[in-house]
Amino acid sequence: MATLQIREALRHAIDEEMARDERVFVIGEEVGHYDGAYKVTEGLLAKYGERRVVDTPIAEAGFAGVGIGAAMAGLRPIVEFMTFNFSAVAFDQILNNAAKLRQLSNGQFTLPIVFRGPNAAAHMLSSTHSQAFESFYCGFPGVKVVSVATPADAKGLLKSAIRDDNPIIFFESEVMYSVKGEVPDGEHLIPIGKAEIKRPGSGVTVVTWGQGLAIALAAAELAQAEGLSCEVIDLRTLRPLDDDAVVASVRKTNRCVLVYHGWPYGGTGAEVSDRVMRLCFDDLDAPILRVCYEDLNMPYAENLEHLVIPSPARALEAIREVAYRQH
């Protein structure tokens, strides 16, 4: 085991896959000479050179298209968006090319490409830099969507994503790059599409992903002090969803709370809620509750931002409510 930050775990994954397969390369803004905006790609330019660590202009649609073309030609690009907020500029490339070309070519092309970078709110970045893009990218077929919250998951899932023959949207978090955790030594792969129980429990199922994990775990700790046992499930992959893991937990606890960074209307949280309701209707003893952003654009002011994003206190209130333990 090694103790790594999430940024280091991601770097190890990229480094190992570049060493293993010469078709793998990195492209994006500041990935090379600046060593990455968040230092995920630090040292890779010196090791692999400018043919495989490619600095680009500020032109997301352009370098996303270059990556897609390279994937069609047999390479395995990793396209870094400095933030997924900037991926909106490349949405046509991702939506109408990366997600569809395998089908439109009747399988003549595969699209082994990873689009990765930080997603959702960070800290005081205001509305245009605080989008949670799950609802966009989970909303159409042809891509897989991954969201990581621990170093071990970051490394294992990124390695699997790089090896996958489908386009992968790989969400990270700006405020979590320095989070530390244990990462297994040697070849460490985690299958895409498998959730993980991060905290076992018996009273309330708390489903989460990405930045929501730390909030969910903190709320579960607070609930435990009140005699409420929470099982925290990190989805890790948002498309495809691991229905089996969530259903098994809800059938055990009979209650479900979702904790996540994202808006309430039409998002991934709504999709998970729908599936739990349909698949576990006879098992539920309380309504499914969601703890997420308030339904408005993210403010810049720190005190207002805290009112919009989810918190352990808000999650605890939801846990109490589904357990009929309101204070």
The mean predicted confidence, pLDDT, of the chain is 96
Q: Is the pLDDT of residue 326 over 90?
A: no
Structural contact between residues 213 and 149, judged by C-beta atoms closer than 8 angstroms:
yes
Q: Where are the alpha helices (DSSP H) in 232-267?
A: 243-253
Q: How far apart are CA 65 and CA 129, in angstroms?
A: 22
Task: Quick: pLDDT tens for 208-248.
Answer: 999 999 999 999 999 999 999 999 999 999 999 999 999 99
Task: Quick: pLDDT tens for 282-315.
Answer: 999 999 999 999 999 999 999 999 999 999 999 9
pLDDT at 327: 59
Query: In Å, how far from its chain's centre is CA 217?
Result: 17
**Mean pLDDT, residues 197-207:** 98
- The pTM (predicted TM-score) of the whole model is 0.96
Fold category of 2-183 in CATH = Rossmann fold (3.40.50)
Catalytic residue among 8, 29, 60, 305: 60
Task: Quick: pLDDT tens for 3-31.
Answer: 999 999 999 999 999 999 999 999 999 99
State both tokens at 227. 């005699």
Size (the chain), residues:
327
* Among 246, 320, 316, 258, residue whose Cα is nearest residue 283: 246
| pLDDT band with cut points at 50, 70 and 90 for residue 103 | very high
Task: Quick: pLDDT tens for 25-61.
Answer: 999 999 999 999 999 999 999 999 999 999 999 999 9
Q: Is the pLDDT of residue 153 over 70?
A: yes
Q: Residue 60 catalytic?
A: yes
pLDDT at 325: 86
* Among 100, 112, 319, residue whose Cα is nearest residue 208: 319
Q: Is the pLDDT of residue 324 over 80?
A: yes
Domain ranges of the chain: 2-183, 196-322
Fold category of 196-322 in CATH = Rossmann fold (3.40.50)
pLDDT at 18: 98
φ/ψ (deg, to 5) at 11 = -60, -45
Catalytic residue among 129, 294, 317, 321: 129
* Fold match flag (2-183 vs 196-322): yes
**Mean pLDDT, residues 275-281:** 97
Q: Residue 129 catalytic?
A: yes
Strands across the sheet with 196-199, in order?
196-199, 230-234, 204-208, 256-259, 289-291
